C-alpha cells in the first residue's frame, strides 16, 4: 500500500467555507477508476483548501502516481458545480 498526498484549493481561500472531510473522501473515492488502484481516501480540510491522502496499490517506486491522482482530483472537482472553481495548485500548499 502506498500513501500519496494531493492538495487542492479555492481561488479565494478566505471567502470559502471549510469542506467536510467525509464529503471530500466519498467524492474522490467514488470518482476513482479501477486502474487508479485506490483502496482508501482520507481528507484534511481547512478554510479554502483540502489535503487528500490516497492509499493505493501502486508500488513505492511508481513515479507516475502523483500525476494519476492529480488527474483523479481534477476529474472529480469538474463533476461538482459547487467545486468548479477549486483546483490543484501548481505548487503544493
Whole-model pTM?
A: 0.87
**32 pLDDT exceeds 90?**
yes
Residue ranges of domains in the chain: 2-83
Separation of alpha carbons 62 and 24, rounded Å: 25
8 Å CB contact between 20 and 27: no
Q: Which band of pLDDT confidence, cut at 50, 70 and 90, is reported for residue 93?
A: very low
Looking at the chain, the whole-number percentage of residues with pLDDT higher than 90 is: 61
Task: Mention every residue, 6+ apart, whose C-beta is less than 8 A from residue 82.
Answer: none
**91 pLDDT exceeds 70?**
no
In CATH terms, the fold of domain 2-83 is Alpha-Beta Plaits (3.30.70)
Amino acid at each position: 500500500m502506498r500513501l500519496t498526498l494531493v492538495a487542492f484549493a479555492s481561488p479565494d481561500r478566505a471567502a470559502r467555507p471549510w469542506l467536510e472531510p467525509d464529503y471530500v473522501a466519498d467524492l474522490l473515492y467514488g470518482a476513482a477508476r479501477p486502474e487508479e488502484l485506490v483502496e482508501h481516501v482520507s481528507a484534511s480540510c481547512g478554510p479554502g483548501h483540502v489535503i487528500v491522502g490516497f492509499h493505493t496499490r501502486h508500488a513505492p517506486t511508481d513515479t507516475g502516481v502523483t500525476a494519476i491522482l492529480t488527474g483523479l482530483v481534477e476529474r472529480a472537482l469538474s463533476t461538482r458545480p459547487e467545486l468548479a472553481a477549486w483546483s490543484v495548485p501548481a505548487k503544493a500548499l
